[in-house]
Amino acid sequence: MIRDRVLGHAAPLEGATLLDVGAGDGLIGLAALERVGPNGTVIFSDVSEALLAHSEQRADSLGLSDRARFVHTAAEDLAAIPDASVDVVTTRSVLIYVAEKSQAFAAFARVLRPGGRLSLFEPINRLVFPEPDDRFWGYDIGAVAGLAARVRAQFTGASRDVRAMMGFDDRDLADLAVAAGFERVHVERHIDVEPGSSMNPVSFDALLDSAPNPNAPSTREAIAAALTEDEQERFLTELRSAFDEGRATRRMVGAYVAAQK
């Protein structure tokens, strides 16, 4: 599991002050609270105050909030976190939404104490997309490949977002860590191919309501914008058939980075 690998690469954690950047709903931070022990602290940081509030509620319900802090700050600067104040920085699937990745790595280095450790995971979308012409979110839609291309085009309107998500790979992550001043850097790339869709839908409606990133239209919206009513019917019929029959292949590429100042 990604969470356990990120925390495993950050070990030892007993008694540590750990900063989880882009904490989201608390997946890594809550698990980290158990690993840092009674003398450790976990700082949850995020740009979303709503997600921070959700994480705080979860920590409180588990009786762990006395060893947790919740800070509203961006990964690019971590302005609310003092210099050299934490032992470990973790993050999971956050840098894909950050355009200025070098600034984020500089912020990670700034808040870490001498000898501090960074552990992160990022999906490497550059090695997964664009999909083959006969695939749509992994589903085999060869009969309507031309229509699928027009639907995909609806997801590429925000060039800044596309660059942030697609414009880097594992080698870039290593270079960014070195440039930020980390003395020891280890990167592992993982490639997995298995049955299923990259969207992991629980139903066909869930697939249509999914979006590749928070700033992109949903699949349903993209289909409506790109195709005529007759074309929509043809495309949805083929996609539904592939969904019902499980004709999908998921290709996932991700990188883990472990670094030390």
Mean pLDDT of all residues in 83-95: 97
- Whole-number percent of the chain with pLDDT over 90: 82
What is the edge-to-edge ordering of all strands in the sheet holding 249-260?
Answer: 68-72, 41-46, 17-21, 86-92, 112-123, 249-260, 184-195
Please name each of the domains of the chain with its CATH number: 2-122 (3.40.50.150), 127-159+195-250 (no CATH)
28 contact partners, CB below 8 Å, separation of at least 6: 3, 6, 7, 20, 90, 91, 92
Q: What pLDDT was estimated at residue 11?
A: 94
112-168 residue pLDDT tens: 999 999 999 999 988 888 888 999 999 999 999 999 999 998 887 544 566 777 889
